[in-house]
Structure 1
Amino acid sequence: MIRRRAGALLLTAVLLAGCAGQLPQPGPQPPDNDLAPVPTPTPVPSADPSPDCPDSGALLSLGEVDAAMGLRAMPIRLVNCAEEPVHVDGFPELTVLDEQLQPLAVEVIEGAEVVARVDTVAGSPVPVTVQPGERAGAVLVWRNTVDDVRVPPTHGTFLSVAPAVGEPAQVLEPDGGLDIGTTGRVAVSPWAPAD
């Protein structure tokens, strides 16, 4: 009986030794720590200016043209994309440009009521402080009138817009351009806080 048990144990040991060469070998063991190291994320500032934000902090854009019976009105938007307040007081500085970005002989008049009596764009300029993330707006108005058939109508392709005289301008492309006809003028309302 003892010999049978000893033989069985010997046979089991031989089989296990033979199989040991076929078992996969364990790889390197991680250090004996209870917690694995957690990578530290790179902090991202939440209030950084947008990559497109100009040095002035005033990012400009144009809205859609509202056309009715020859009268055109187009919003000009200013958003403060910086971390400090932006101050505007008065009118945007505008130049109408052709497709080669050359200035056209178009008079820009301060005060939209010169072209059209529209209550929503009338008013005198007041100082406006635009806090970070807030907006201000103005409106460009003109008439598509041809009153002299001998003069070819003027069509502006781009608009150079600065928040005020002496500040850097941004070149914007109105959707559909500016069909000024033969009037030779446009008018702009003063900056106002956006609704």
Structure 2
Amino acid sequence: MRHPWIAALLTVALLGACAGQLPQPGPQPPDHDWTPTPSPTPLPSVEPSPDCPASGALLSLGEVNAAMGLRVLSIWLVNCADEPVHVDGFPEIVVLDEQRQPLVVEVIEGVEVIARIETLARSPQPVTVLPGQRAAAVLAWRNTVDDVRVPPTHGTFLSVAPGVGVPAQLLEPDGGLDIGTTGRVAVSPWAPAD
């Protein structure tokens, strides 16, 4: 090599360029024993969920229990508010078609006209549902065709209100309501479920 000093000079220049591209250390913490403590996360306030209606009574349906033409459907009321909910009597029910239009279906208070079910043969009583607790009622009907000239009724939705004067909620029973040609369903009164 004719000029070894050129190679040494290039090496020094390259090392200097690389050193200029290295990240520089940031500001150093002060020389004392200060340890940051995270601020406590505030606890969420107890408020109704966004799906909780103003009445505090959130309604839902159980599965249809079918046996020998008799159909039984549980209606659940959950108190989703932070105050007690009071119900007395029967749920207000309207059977709707797939376009959510009312069907000509008679809703009878008391399931005894549809079936003799001992556990449901009760008179309406005032029920107080505490926050987080439930009440239940039952809708019963028969899939009976007693007139072949009349097309069977099939409900797709239910409009259910916890009581008179309380806004209704739209519910969809799994599989709908195969009411046949009887044109009637029956409902039991509210009762404590917990």
Q: What TM-score do the two structures reach when normalised by structure 1?
A: 0.84
Unaligned runs of 5+ in 1: 1-18
State which drifts further: 88-97 or 113-122. 113-122
Q: Amino acid of the residue matched to residue 152 of structure 2?
A: P
Q: Amino acid of the residue matched to residue 70 of structure 1?
A: G
Cα offset, 1:42, TM superposition: 4.1
Tell me the distance in 2 between the aligned counterparts of 1:134 and 1:24: 61
Match of 2:7 in 1: none
Match of 2:13 in 1: none
Percent identical pairs in the alignment equals 80
Tell me the distance in 2 between the aligned counterparts of 1:24 and 1:157: 68
Match of 1:156 in 2: 155
Match of 1:121 in 2: 120
Match of 2:8 in 1: none
Q: Amino acid of the residue matched to residue 107 of structure 1?
A: E
Question: Residues 68 and 25 (structure 1 numbering): CA distance in 2 closer, same or farther, change over 3 Å?
Answer: closer
Cα offset, 1:32, TM superposition: 4.1
2:70 is aligned with 1:57: no
Counterparts of residues 44-193 of structure 1 (less than 5 Å): 44-45=43-44, 47-193=46-192
Cα offset, 1:33, TM superposition: 4.4
SS of corresponding position for 1:113? helix
Tell me the distance in 1 between the aligned counterparts of 2:106 and 2:115: 15
Q: Which runs of 4+ in 1 moved over 6 A?
A: none
Q: CA RMSD in A?
A: 1.9
Question: Residues 25 and 96 (structure 1 numbering): CA distance in 2 closer, same or farther, change over 3 Å?
Answer: closer
Tell me the distance in 2 between the aligned counterparts of 1:161 and 1:149: 30
Q: Amino acid of the residue matched to residue 103 of structure 2?
A: L
Superimposed CA distance per residue, residues 8-66 of structure 1 (whole angstroms, 9 cap, x where no aligned partner): xxxxxxxxxxx9xx697532012344233334244242532122111110000000011
SS of corresponding position for 1:95? strand
Cα offset, 1:175, TM superposition: 0.3
Tell me the distance in 1 between the aligned counterparts of 2:34 and 2:186: 68
Question: Residues 77 and 30 (structure 1 numbering): CA distance in 2 closer, same or farther, change over 3 Å?
Answer: same
Superimposed CA distance per residue, residues 152-192 of structure 1 (whole angstroms, 9 cap, x where no aligned partner): 00000000000001110000000000000000000000000
Q: Amino acid of the residue matched to residue 87 of structure 2?
A: V
Cα offset, 1:151, TM superposition: 0.2
Structure number with bigger Rg: 1
Question: Residues 103 and 24 (structure 1 numbering): CA distance in 2 closer, same or farther, change over 3 Å?
Answer: closer
